[in-house]
Chain A
Amino acid sequence: MNGTPPSVAALRAIRAVLLKDLRTGWRARTSLVAMLLFAALMLTVFALALPEASWSNEPSSRRLSAGILWVAIAFGGVLGLNQTFAAEREGNTIEGLLLTPIDRGHLYIAKFLANLVFLLGVEIPLTALHVLFFNAEIGGARFVPYLVVLVLGTVGFTASGTLFAAMSSSTRSREVLLPLILLPIATPILLAGIECTATILEGYSLTDLDVVKWVKLMVVFDIVNLMASFLTFEFLVEE
């Protein structure tokens, strides 16, 4: 890296790891498909268990369907996050990755971005199912705020999720620990996501005084957790 400014070198390293993860994730696809199927299953089970959630003329149904959507994202997300480091551990490729002269924080950023892309990708069909199963109206002026909320929430969830997945993947029973750690800590982002999505479905704007604080809360959660994870990730991947 002689002559290259450090920031450029870091960006190149992040891009290399990110592209590797996207490529392997896309080629295997099992984790992606499992994540999508599981989340879709959650939507189906909840739609059957709570028929009120699909009654389009009830105001409370919008809140219910918003809650169901976010629960499905959270649980599907946990399933996918568990796989990100598990594959690296199984193939022992994590050692190779750690031997490269890449800053641990940058490694975290790459992993975070890969997980973010996959989870957001899964959310596209989930959104369609949300509309289909629950008669959610997200067209017209509601579409952009709906997407903004999804992205803000997913960034926060993936930020702490990627960190704890790295932790959980090197424990004895890999899958068990992640939801136990991640879900309580991710409560604010889930509550904020539900509140904002419900508000949009009810036909209000995100700039309304009551809702804008939830949007701010999501932004703060995203920034705080990205920073905290960036700084502490190195302590999880020491061998």
Chain B
Amino acid sequence: MADVNVDRVRDAEPVGAIRVVQQLGRIEKPVGVLAALGVLVAFGMIAAYAPLEVEQGEVQKIFYVHVPSAWTAFLAVTVVFLASILFLLTRDRVWDEIAASAGEIALVFLSIVLTTGPLWGRPVWNTWWTWDARLTYTLILWLVFAAYQLVRPFAADSERGARFAAVLSIVGFVDLPIIHFSVLWWRTLHPKPIVMDPVGGKHLDPAMFQTLMFTLGAWTLLFLFFLAKRVQIEHRRNELGALGR
């Protein structure tokens, strides 16, 4: 009887979400090395390769940290949303581990966005903060994800915390477009997106564009590395918790 069980364990292909954790564990080291190299090269490019912007000078270079961080934050938010749906559908705790990990990463990068923004705004807009649509939107998103971190510790048990966090992230995500429009109509001062703009895109210096694209890539790798690492930790933590019970 025991033999049969051992065989089954050895032969069985791991099913479902646990595979995602294993894959993330496998890519963790190479992605980590690539991300570290990428971020180093990115900072080199920002310092030496990207040309100085005529009007703003060196201050403008914070843009190469600001924009990729915003992109990474929204990527993380999307991962939280998808993993939360998958968790409620399958009840596989691994999806919740992924959502919890990505939720923390989202908060980290949103914090970077909210710090680099005012640092740039002070010299250029002559104010640290303004109730512009994008700033307000990012702040509200930050507040939602700060509250998201509290749901799990506040819940009576971890299974309940997982369900609550999933519901919050799904309802929050569904409301994001509405929040976006509401703050957009409220008041706005933020520079219009230049890169995506069909006319403005041509005005962006090729070296600037390349630097931005490179930093976007490096930050995405960094996100993948954080996610892989954080999911491993969360998974171990849950395993330990299960042993303790």
Do the two chains belong together in a single complex?
A: yes
Find A228's partner among B147, B163, B174, B181 (CB 8 Å cutoff): B174
Q: Is the interface of A mostly helix, strand, loop or mixed?
A: helix
Q: Which of A163, A177, A184, A195 neighbours the largest number of chain B CB atoms within 10 Å of its CB?
A: A184
**What's the Cα separation between A177 and B164 when bound, in Å?**
11
Task: Note all chain B residues with C-beta closer than 8 A to A229.
Answer: 171
Task: Note all chain B residues with C-beta closer than 8 A to A220.
Answer: 178
Interface residues of B in 147-180 (CB under 8 A from A): 147, 150-151, 154-156, 160, 163-164, 166-168, 170-172, 174-175, 178-179
Once A and B bind, how many residue pairs between them come within 8 Å at the CB atom? 90
Residue pair A235, B88 in contact (C-beta under 8 Å): yes
**What's the Cα separation between A223 and B197 when bound, in Å?**
33
Judge whether B182 is part of the interface by a CB distance below 8 angstroms: yes
Stretch at the interface among A98-106, A144-152, A167-175: A167-175
Q: Which residue of B lies closest to A178 (CB)?
A: B147
Residue pair B154, A184 in contact (C-beta under 8 Å): no
**What's the Cα separation between A126 and B186 when bound, in Å?**
25
Residue pair A225, B171 in contact (C-beta under 8 Å): yes
**What's the Cα separation between A185 and B171 when bound, in Å?**
8
Given A176-B154, A180-B150, A232-B182 contact (CB < 8 Å)? no
Given A172-B154, A187-B182, A224-B178, A180-B147 contact (CB < 8 Å)? yes
Interface residues of A in 124-176 (CB under 8 A from B): 160, 163-164, 167, 170-173, 176
Q: Is the interface of B mostly helix, strand, loop or mixed?
A: helix
Given A187-B140, A232-B167, A236-B167, A224-B174 contact (CB < 8 Å)? yes
Given A191-B183, A221-B175, A228-B160 contact (CB < 8 Å)? no
**What's the Cα separation between A173 and B151 when bound, in Å?**
11
Judge whether A192 is part of the interface by a CB distance below 8 angstroms: yes
Residue pair B144, A177 in contact (C-beta under 8 Å): no
Given A181-B147, A225-B175, A188-B163 contact (CB < 8 Å)? no
Residue pair A213, B151 in contact (C-beta under 8 Å): no
Min distance, Cβ A63 to any Cβ of chain B, angstroms = 12
Residue pair A177, B151 in contact (C-beta under 8 Å): yes
Task: Note all chain A residues with C-beta closer than 8 A to B150.
Answer: 177, 180
Residue pair A188, B171 in contact (C-beta under 8 Å): no
Task: Note all chain A residues with C-beta closer than 8 A to B178.
Answer: 188, 217, 220-221, 224
Per-residue contact bits, chain A 34-67, to B (CB 8 Å; 1 contact, 0 not): 0000000000000000000000000000000000
A selection of 24 A-B contacts at a CB cut-off of 8 Å is: A163-B171, A164-B168, A167-B164, A170-B155, A171-B154, A173-B154, A176-B154, A180-B146, A181-B147, A181-B151, A181-B168, A184-B143, A184-B147, A187-B140, A188-B178, A188-B179, A191-B182, A220-B178, A225-B175, A228-B170, A228-B174, A232-B171, A235-B167, A236-B164
- With A217-B181, A228-B175, A236-B164 given, name 20 new contacts (CB 8 A): A167-B151, A167-B164, A170-B155, A171-B154, A171-B155, A171-B156, A177-B150, A181-B151, A184-B144, A185-B179, A188-B181, A188-B182, A191-B182, A213-B185, A220-B178, A221-B178, A224-B175, A228-B170, A232-B171, A236-B163
Q: Which 8 A-B pairs have the closest CB atoms?
A: A188-B182, A171-B154, A184-B143, A180-B147, A232-B167, A191-B182, A188-B178, A184-B144
